[in-house]
């Protein structure tokens, strides 16, 4: 019987090579950060610096030795190479951290959103760092001895790795402890351990944990005040996507990103923080009764939210969806979703621009009735990285813009121009909704609230996009815009002092936590779930 033509390598050597490859190539986001940290420290010993690659290679060698199971190891390592390559690119180029919230965000990503991250740079990175070594591994024959010999070598490898880690710990414990304590986020950059543990946590949380019983909230809700002018109330709640408050002209930004709404009497709240840094967290949280400080996604998913309480009060609720999904918030509410694959002038097969929301909103406003209404418009807004696809060509107000998805390769000016164009177009959509509400004041007491889910990084400190753990996230990802407009009728229904409201918006500090109670108060809903201190309108409402 002839020898196999496949080149061979022993399992233990393969494991060591993989440990070296993962540290020196795939962990580039980690080593880059470490280099910057070490460069900024005074009096760092050469021994400590030289011990770092030995420490990580030993730790990875230990991990890979434990998972190197005969007949399974090749498939496991090929999968790890491919996944780690993609994770490495996102972390290195955009500063993304793959925690459990990010895993949830990935699992809820639709096809069009996933495609927006494909570009020449990401594909080249994936081919060179993931596909090429995976193909090389697929071609080699992994050699094993007998069972006892394999176990002996595994034992030697494990003990050798532990010995190396132990010696380093004895010699440089204080250095590692100091760098680790002052830069605790570094553990989140280690590939593949952190993203694998996050994925395991997500699977356990989503599929393996016993489902909590359903908790109904606000069954006592009712509209508690008469409509003095005989007209029902109608609120349009616009949920923005990836808009950051600091780029709103109405908040002092020196560009005309609010060219369409600045003369329409809207009130802009200057300091509003989000509940999360990703849609999958922020949208459920902003509609939840739970405050950010106590927010538990599992509990929130198994209890009524703001829209349910409004429906308990007898309001007519409709959700118009243009951002790929409401993250469970609208499950029990009549919903109209816009599917990019259905085509149309404003859809490209992956996304629909927010202009698609206007016609169904107009039809909803024209529908007669005496029942109070809340219409929610979930916008695609400023969703990246393909910002240039979020607005029609005629809304390329700031030029030159960045007509590509590998945004790190655009100039700062191009990137900011493109992002600001998304806000400019969103402002146009908001202005069109305002015009409709003003035209329907004879039939309704109308109002509008616009609030974004989270912000965005545009290259500041090397960070792009969003989704960093909240404790690490920069203000660009957590500070969001909030606009409000109320017709004279709805303002009188609430007994609001406009001067007081403007002062609140200018000087107050608010968050997504205020949405639940502010909407209940604005719509005159009485319920034991209402917390007046969280209603940002309460201080400006007369008795």
Half-sphere exposure (CA, 13 Å, Cβ side) for 459? 13
Is residue 219 included in any domain, yes or no?
no
pLDDT of residue 321: 96
Straight-line distance from the first to the last Cα atom of the chain, in angstroms, rounded to the nearest whole number: 96
DSSP state of 160: H
- Which tokens is 6 given? 């496949």
Does the pLDDT at position 31 exceed 70?
yes
Of the candidates 289, 301, 17, 297, the residue with the CA atom closest to the CA atom of residue 136: 17
What is the mean pLDDT of the segment spanning 51-75?
95
The pLDDT value given to residue 2: 47
Give this prediction's pTM. Answer: 0.85
> Are 240 and 453 within 8 A, CB to CB?
yes
* 526 bridge partner residues: 222
In order, the DSSP letters of 371-434 are S-EEEEEE--TT-SS-GGGGS-GGG--SSS---SS-GGGS-HHHHHHHHHHHHHHHHHHHHHHH
Q: What is the pLDDT of residues 430-478, one digit of tens each?
A: 999 999 999 999 999 999 999 999 999 999 988 899 998 999 899 999 9
Average pLDDT over residues 485-508: 94
Query: Which residue, of 171, 190, 207, is where some domain finishes?
Result: 207
Dihedral of the CA atoms 174, 179, 181, 185 (nearest 10)?
-150
Confidence of residue 543 (pLDDT cuts 50, 70, 90): low
The tokens describing 55, both together, are: 């420490």
Which CA distances in Å does 187 have to 136, 183, 472? 29, 9, 13
Number of domains, the chain: 2
pLDDT at 308 over 90: yes
Buried b (16+ CB within 10 A) or exposed e, 124-141: ebbeebbeebbeebeeee
Residue-by-residue DSSP string for 303-359? B--HHHHHHHTT-EEEEEE-SS--TTTTTTS-EEE--GGG--TTB-SS-B-GGGGHH
* Domain CATH number, residue 533: 3.40.720.10
Reply yes or no on whether the pLDDT at 350 is more than 90.
no
Q: What would the mean pLDDT of 181-190 be, rounded to a whole number?
A: 87
The verdict on 158 and 238 lying in the same domain is: no
- pLDDT at 392 exceeding the cut of 90: yes
Section 274-292 average pLDDT: 96
Write down the pLDDT at residue 426.
98
211-234: pLDDT as tens digits: 889 999 999 999 987 777 889 999
The phi, psi pair for 346, rounded to 5°, reads -100, 5
User: Could you tell me if residue 212 is inside a domain?
Assistant: no
**Cα 34 from Cα 522, distance rounded (Å):** 50
178 with 307, same domain?
A: no
How far apart are the C-alpha atoms of 505 and 197, rounded to whole Å? 42
Please tell me whether residues 511 and 437 are part of one structural domain.
yes
Domain co-membership, 156 together with 258: no
Which two structure tokens, joined as six digits, stand for 353? 């621009």
Do β-strands 373-378 and 335-337 pair in parallel, antiparallel, or remain unpaired?
A: unpaired
| Stretch 407-412: mean pLDDT | 92
Same domain, 174 and 94: yes
CA distances from 239 to 35, 63, 85, 350 (A): 40, 44, 34, 20
Residues contacting residue 411 through CB under 8 Å, at least 6 positions apart: 402
The answer to whether residue 396 scores a pLDDT higher than 90 is yes
Instruction: Give the pLDDT mean for 475-493.
Output: 96
Task: Tell me which DSSP letter residue 131 carries.
Answer: I
Alpha-carbon distance of 310 to 218, in angstroms, equals: 8
Residue 293 lies in a domain: yes
- The Cα–Cα gap between 276 and 296 comes to 12
Pairing relation of β-strands 482-486 and 445-452? antiparallel
Percentage of the chain with pLDDT > 90? 77
DSSP for 96-128?
A: ----HHHHHHHHT--HHHHHTT--HHHHHHHII
Residues 186, 331 within the same domain? no
Asked if residue 15 has pLDDT above 70, the reply is yes
Residue 517 · residue 535 · CB < 8 Å? yes
| Residues 355 and 288 reside in one and the same domain | yes
Q: Is residue 215 part of a domain?
A: no
Cα 482 to Cα 38, 200, 274, distances in angstroms: 41, 36, 10
Domain identity same for 18 and 70: yes
The C-alpha atoms of residue 342 and residue 320 are separated, in whole angstroms, by 16
- 62 within some domain: yes
Beta strand ranges found along 400-533 (DSSP E): 445-452, 457-458, 464-465, 482-486, 509-511, 525-526
CA distances from 514 to 32, 382, 446, 473, 482 (A): 40, 23, 20, 21, 11
Look at residue 131 in the predicted model and tell me its pLDDT: 97
Pair 375, 505 in one domain: yes
* Alpha carbon distance 523, 223 (integer Å): 8
Task: Tell whether 92 is covered by a domain.
Answer: yes
Residues 19, 123: one domain? Answer: yes
Is-contact 329 284, C-beta < 8 A?
A: yes
Domain containing 149 equals: 8-207
The pLDDT mean for the chain works out to: 93
Q: In this predicted model, what pLDDT tens digit does every residue of 81-127 receive, in sequence order?
A: 999 999 999 999 988 889 888 888 888 777 777 777 888 999 999 99
Residue 291 shares a structural domain with residue 327: yes
- Given 159, 191, 207, the domain boundary residue is 207
Number of alpha helices (DSSP H) and beta strands (DSSP E) in the chain: 19, 15
Mean pLDDT of 413-432: 98
Above 90 in pLDDT, residue 7? Answer: no
Q: Could you count the other beta carbons within 10 Å of the beta carbon of residue 302?
A: 13
What Rg value do the Cα atoms of the chain yield, rounded? 27
| 169 is a domain residue | yes
| Three-class SS state of 28 | helix
Q: Are residues 254 and 127 in the same domain?
A: no
The residue-averaged pLDDT of 307-333 equals 96
**Mean pLDDT value across residues 301-314:** 97
DSSP state of 367: S
In the numeric block, which tokens belong to residue 360?
A: 């169904």
Residue 396 burial (CB < 10 Å; 0-12/13-18/19+)? middle
Q: Which among 87, 91, 85, 93 has a CA at the least distance from the CA of 130?
A: 85
pLDDT in tens, 512-538: 999 999 999 999 999 999 999 999 999
Does any domain span residue 93? yes
pLDDT at 356 over 90: yes
Q: Tell me the pLDDT band of 4, cut-offs 50, 70 and 90.
A: low
Is the model more confident about 184 or about 415? 415
């Amino acid at each position: 019987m002839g020898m196999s033509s496949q080149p061979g390598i022993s399992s233990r050597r393969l494991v060591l090579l993989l440990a070296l490859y993962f540290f020196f190539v795939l962990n580039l986001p980690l080593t880059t950060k470490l280099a910057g940290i070490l460069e900024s420290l005074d009096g760092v010993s050469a021994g400590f610096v030289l011990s770092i690659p030995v420490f990580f290679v030993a730790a990875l060698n230990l991990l890979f030795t434990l998972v190197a199971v005969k007949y399974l190891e090749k498939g496991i390592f090929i999968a790890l190479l491919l996944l780690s390559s993609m994770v490495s690119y996102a972390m290195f180029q955009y500063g993304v951290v793959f925690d459990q919230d990010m895993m949830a965000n990935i699992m809820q990503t639709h096809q069009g959103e996933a495609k927006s991250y494909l570009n020449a740079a990401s594909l080249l990175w994936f081919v060179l760092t993931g596909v090429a070594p995976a193909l090389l591994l697929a071609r080699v024959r992994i050699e094993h001895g007998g069972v006892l010999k394999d176990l002996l070598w595994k034992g030697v490898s494990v003990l050798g790795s532990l010995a190396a880690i132990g010696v380093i710990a004895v010699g440089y414990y204080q250095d590692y402890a100091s760098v680790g304590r002052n830069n605790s986020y570094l553990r989140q950059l280690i590939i593949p351990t952190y993203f694998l543990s996050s994925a395991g946590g997500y699977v356990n949380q989503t599929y393996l944990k016993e489902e909590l019983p359903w908790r109904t909230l606000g069954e006592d809700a009712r509209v508690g005040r008469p409509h003095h002018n005989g007209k029902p109330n109608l609120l349009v709640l616009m949920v923005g996507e990836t808009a950051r408050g600091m780029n709103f002209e109405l908040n002092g930004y020196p560009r005309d990103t609010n060219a369409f709404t600045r003369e329409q009497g809207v009130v802009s709240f200057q300091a509003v923080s989000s509940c999360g840094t990703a849609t999958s967290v922020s949208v459920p949280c902003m509609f939840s009764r739970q405050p950010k400080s106590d927010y538990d996604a599992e509990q929130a998913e198994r209890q009524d939210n703001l829209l349910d309480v409004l429906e308990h009060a007898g309001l007519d609720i409709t959700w118009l969806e243009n951002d790929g999904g409401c993250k469970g918030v609208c499950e029990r509410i009549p919903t109209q979703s816009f599917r990019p694959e259905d085509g149309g002038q404003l859809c490209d097969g992956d996304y629909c621009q927010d202009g698609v929301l206007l016609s169904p909103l107009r039809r909803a406003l024209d529908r007669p009735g005496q029942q109070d209404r809340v219409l929610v418009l979930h916008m695609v807004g400023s969703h990246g990285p393909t910002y240039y696809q979020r607005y029609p060509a005629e809304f390329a107000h700031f030029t030159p813009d960045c007509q590509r998805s590998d945004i790190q390769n655009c100039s700062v000016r191009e990137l900011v121009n493109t992002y600001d164009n998304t806000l400019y177009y969103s402002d146009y959509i908001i202005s069109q909704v305002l015009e409709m509400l003003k035209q329907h004041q004879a039939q309704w007491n109308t109002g509008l609230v616009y609030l974004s889910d989270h912000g965005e990084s545009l290259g500041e400190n090397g960070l792009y996009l969003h989704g960093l753990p909240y404790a690490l996230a920069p203000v660009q990802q957590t500070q969001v815009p909030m606009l409000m407009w109320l017709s004279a009728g709805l303002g009188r229904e609430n007994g609001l002092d406009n001067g007081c409201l403007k002062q609140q918006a200018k000087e107050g500090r608010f968050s997504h936590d205020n949405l639940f109670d502010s909407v209940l108060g604005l719509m005159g809903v009485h319920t034991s779930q209402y917390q007046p201190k969280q209603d940002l309108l309460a201080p400006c409402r007369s008795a």
